[in-house]
Chain A
Amino acid sequence: MKREYLKIDRVHGALIELSKIHSVGYGEIVEVEDRLGNTMVGRVIKIDKDSVVVQVFGQTMGISVENTKVSFEGKPFEIPLSKKILGRTFNGLGEPTDGGGDIYSEKFFNVNGRPINPVSREYPRNFIQTGISSIDGLATLIRGQKLPIFSGAGLPHNELAAQIVRQAKIQSKEGDNKFSIVFAAIGVKHDEAFYFEDAFRKAGVQEKVVMYVNYADDPIMERIITPRCALTAAEYLAYEENQHVLVIMTDITSYGEALREVSSLREEVPSRKGYPGYLYSDLASLYERAGMIHGIDGSVTLIPILTMPNDDITHPIPDLTGYITEGQIVLARTLDQKAIYPPINVLPSLSRLMKDGIGEGFTREDHPDVSNQLFSSYSKVQEVRALAQIVGEEDLSDRDKYYMKFGDAFEDRFITQSFNENRDISDTLDLAWELLKILPKEELDRLNPDIIAKYME
Chain B
Amino acid sequence: MRSMDNLTGKIEMINGPVIRGIEMTGFKMREMVTVGHKKLIGEIIAIDGDEGTVQVYEETEGLRKGEVIVSTGKPLSLKLGPGMLGNMFDGIQRPLKKIKEVHGSFIPEGIGLLSIDEEKLWEVKFQVSEGDYVKQGQIFGTVEETPLITNKLLIPIGVEGKVTWQIVPGEYNINEVLLKVKDIKGKDHEVKMHQEWPVRTQRPVAERLQIDKLLITGQRVLDIFFPIAKGGTAAIPGGFGTGKTMTQHQLAKWSDADIIVYVGCGERGNEMTEVLEDFPKLIDPKSNRPIMERTVLIANTSNMPVAAREASIYTGITMAEYFRDMGYHVAVMADSTSRWAEALREISGRLEEMPAEEGYPAYLPSRLAQFYERAGYVKTLSGESGSITVIGAVSPAGGDFSEPVTENTKRFVNVFLGLDKELAYARHYPAINWLNSYSGYSEMIQKYYEKELGENIAEIRKKMLSILYEESKLLEIVLLVGEDVLPDDQRLILEIARVIKIGFLQQNAFDDTDTYVPLKKQLEMLKTMELLYDRGLQSVKRGIPISVVRNTEIYEEIIKMKYTIPNDNIEKIQGLNAKINEFYNQLESEYSV
In the complex, A48→B348 CA distance in Å? 17
Q: In residues 340-357 of chain B, which contact A (Cβ within 8 Å)?
A: 342, 345-346, 348-349, 352, 355
> Which chain B residue has the least Cβ–Cβ distance from A289?
B303
Contact across chains for B359 and A353 when beta carbons are under 8 A apart:
no
Contact with B along A37-65 (1 / 0, CB 8 A): 00000000011111000000000000000
B34 to A: closest C-beta gap in Å: 16
The CA-CA distance from A291 to B273 in the complex, in Å, is 11
A25 CB, min distance to chain B CBs, angstroms: 5
A379-420 with Cβ < 8 A to chain B: 379-380, 386-387, 390-391, 395-397
Q: Shortest CB–CB separation between residue A375 and chain B, in angstroms? A: 4
Given A123-B277, A327-B241, A442-B552, A271-B345 contact (CB < 8 Å): yes
A112/B65 contact (C-beta < 8 A), A118-B272, A387-B478 known: no
Which one of B64, B302, B482 lies within 8 Å of A391 (CB-CB)? B482
Which of these binds chain A: B122-130, B384-392, B396-404, B525-533? B396-404
Of chain A, the residue at the smallest CB distance from B16 is A278
CA distance in complex: A324, B399 (Å): 14
Bound: A323/B266 CA distance, A: 10
What A residues does B302 contact at CB under 8 A?
Answer: 280-281, 284-285, 287-288, 324
Given contacts A117-B99, A120-B100, A327-B241, contact A288 B303 (CB under 8 A): yes
The answer, yes or no, to whether B569 is at the interface (CB within 8 Å) is no
Interface members, chain B 235-282 (any A CB < 8 Å): 239-241, 264, 266, 268-270, 272-274, 276-277
Other-chain residue from A285, A293, A315, A395 in contact with B482 (beta carbon distance below 8 A): A395
Q: Is the CB of A25 within 8 A of B425?
A: no
Instruction: Tell me the bound Cα distance from A375 to B431 in angstroms.
Output: 14
Q: Least Cβ distance of B517 to chain A in Å?
A: 18
CB atoms of A115 and B273 under 8 A apart: no
Of A27, A323, A445, the residue contacting B240 (CB under 8 A) is A323
Residue from the list A46, A115, A284, A390 in contact with B480, Cβ < 8 A: A390
Query: A116 contacts the other chain (Cβ, under 8 Å)?
Result: yes
Most central of B103, B269, B395, B483 by chain A CB within 10 Å: B269
A355 to chain B: which residues have CB within 8 Å?
Answer: 510
- Measured between C-beta atoms, what is the minimum distance from B345 to chain A in Å? 5
Q: How far is the CA of A390 from the CA of B476 in the complex (A)?
A: 12
Whether B270 lies near A272 (C-beta < 8 A) is no
Over the window 265-308 of chain A, the binary record of Cβ atoms lying under 8 Å from chain B Cβ atoms (1 yes, 0 no) is 00011111000111011001101110101101000000000000
Contact check, A277 vs B100: say whether CB atoms are below 8 A apart: no
B106–A23 CB distance below 8 A: no
CB of B96 within 8 Å of the partner chain: yes
Bound-state CA distance A296–B106 (Å) is: 13
Other-chain residue from A239, A269, A285 in contact with B349 (beta carbon distance below 8 A) = A269
Is A445 within 8 A of B62, CB to CB? no
CB of B14 closer than 8 Å to a CB of A = yes
8 Å CB interface, A44-91 against B: 46-50, 76
Q: How far, in Å, is A278 (CB) from chain B's closest CB?
A: 5
Alpha-carbon separation in the docked complex, A284 to B397 (Å): 15
CB atoms of A112 and B12 under 8 A apart:
no
Task: Indicate if the CB atoms of B269 and A291 lie closer than 8 Å.
Answer: yes
Chain A residues near B60 (CB, 8 Å)?
26-27
In this assembly, does A121 line the interface, its C-beta being within 8 Å of a C-beta of chain B?
Answer: yes
Contact A396 B482 (CB under 8 A): yes
Q: A350–B106 contact, CB under 8 A? A: no
The interface residues of chain A lying within 8 Å CB-to-CB of B398 are 272, 314-316, 319
B578 within 8 A of A: no
Q: Are A390 and B479 in contact (CB under 8 A)?
A: yes
Contacts of A291 in B (CB 8 A): 269-270
B13, B355, B421, B426: the one contacting A49 at CB < 8 Å is: B13
Indicate the size class of the contact surface on chain B: 35 or more
Chain A residues whose CB sits within 8 angstroms of the CB of B428 once the complex forms: 376
Q: Is the interface of B mostly helix, strand, loop or mixed?
A: mixed
Asked if A353 and B106 make an inter-chain contact with CB atoms under 8 angstroms apart, the answer reads: no
The answer to whether A387 and B270 touch across the interface, beta carbons within 8 angstroms, is no
Which of B12, B306, B552, B560 makes the CB contact (< 8 A) with A48?
Answer: B12
Chain A residues near B97 (CB-CB < 8 A): 119
User: Residue of B at shortest CB range from A390?
Assistant: B480
- Judge whether A277 and B273 touch: CB under 8 Å: no
Contact A121 B273 (CB under 8 A): yes
Question: Which of B61, B346, B425 contacts A26 (CB under 8 A)?
Answer: B61
Residues of A within 8 A of B184 (CB): none
Contacts of B342 in A (CB 8 A): 277-278, 280-281
Check A114–B106 contact: CB distance below 8 A: yes
Within 8 A of A (CB), among B470-498: 478-484
A328 within 8 A of B: yes
**Interface assignment of A28: CB less than 8 Å from any CB of chain B:** yes
Q: Is A136 an interface residue (CB 8 A)?
A: no
- Looking at the assembled complex, report how far the CB atom of B347 sits from the nearest CB atom of chain A, in whole angstroms: 9
> Chain B residues near A449 (CB, 8 Å)?
560
Verify B65–A23 contact, CB threshold 8 A.
yes
Contact between chains at B64 and A26 (CB < 8 Å):
yes
Answer yes or no: B432 CB below 8 A from chain A CBs.
no
Asked if A24 is at the interface (CB within 8 A of a chain B CB), the reply is yes
| A245–B447 alpha-carbon span in the complex (Å) | 58
Asked if A277 contacts B359 (CB within 8 A), the reply is yes
B565 within 8 Å of A (CB atoms): no
**A326: Cβ under 8 A from any B Cβ:** yes
A309-326 contacts to B, CB under 8 A, are 314-316, 319-320, 322-324, 326
Which residues of the other chain, A, contact B106 by a CB distance below 8 angstroms? Answer: 113-117, 120
Are B14 and A117 in contact, CB atoms less than 8 angstroms apart?
no
CB-CB under 8 A for A117 and B96, given A387-B479, A390-B480: yes
Interface membership of chain B positions 415-430, coded 1 if the CB is closer than 8 angstroms to chain A and 0 otherwise: 0000001100111100
Q: How far is the CB of B121 from chain A (nearest CB, A)?
A: 23
A115 touches B304 (CB 8 A): yes
Residue of A289, A320, A327, A328 with most partner-chain B CB within 10 A: A320
Contact status A353-B346, CB under 8 Å: no
Contact between A288 and B61 (Cβ–Cβ < 8 Å)? Answer: no
Complex-state Cα separation, A244 to B481, whole angstroms: 55
Shortest beta-carbon distance from B494 to chain A in Å: 12
- B355 near A269 (CB under 8 angstroms)? yes
A295 CB, min distance to chain B CBs, angstroms: 8
Instruction: Please state if A326 and B270 are interface contacts (CB–CB under 8 Å).
Output: yes
When C-beta atoms are compared, the residue in chain A nearest to B105 turns out to be A120
Q: B552 to chain A: which residues have CB within 8 Å?
A: 442
- A122 interfacial contact with B, CB 8 Å: yes
Q: Is the CB of A445 within 8 A of B273?
A: no
Task: Let me know if B358 is at the binding interface, CB within 8 A.
Answer: yes
Given contacts A324-B302, A328-B241, contact A117 B105 (CB under 8 A): yes
Q: Are B301 and A26 in contact (CB under 8 A)?
A: no
Contacts of A323 in B (CB 8 A): 240, 395
Set A49, A113, A120, A397: member contacting B12, Cβ < 8 A: A49
A350 to B429, CA, bound (A): 14
User: Provided the pairs A123-B270, A391-B482 are in contact, do residues A115 and B303 lie with their beta carbons within 8 angstroms?
Assistant: yes
Report how far A147 CA is from B303 CA in the complex, Å. Answer: 17
Judge if B66 is at the interface, Cβ distance under 8 Å.
yes
Chain A nearest Cβ from B138, distance in angstroms? 36
Q: Give 28 CB contacts A-B under 8 Å.
A: A26-B14, A27-B60, A27-B61, A46-B14, A47-B15, A116-B107, A118-B264, A118-B273, A119-B96, A120-B104, A120-B106, A269-B352, A271-B345, A271-B359, A276-B349, A280-B342, A288-B301, A291-B269, A314-B397, A319-B240, A319-B397, A322-B241, A327-B241, A375-B425, A380-B426, A390-B480, A445-B502, A449-B560
- List 9 tightest A-B contacts by C-beta distance, closest first: A314-B398, A284-B302, A322-B240, A27-B61, A288-B303, A379-B426, A120-B105, A271-B359, A114-B106
Given A49-B12, A319-B397, list of 7 further CB < 8 A pairs? A25-B63, A270-B359, A288-B301, A291-B270, A316-B397, A328-B241, A379-B426
User: B-side interface residues toward A, CB under 8 Å?
Assistant: 12-16, 59-66, 88, 96-97, 99-100, 103-108, 239-241, 264, 266, 268-270, 272-274, 276-277, 299, 301-304, 306, 339, 342, 345-346, 348-349, 352, 355, 358-359, 395, 397-400, 421-422, 425-428, 478-484, 502, 510, 552, 556, 559-560
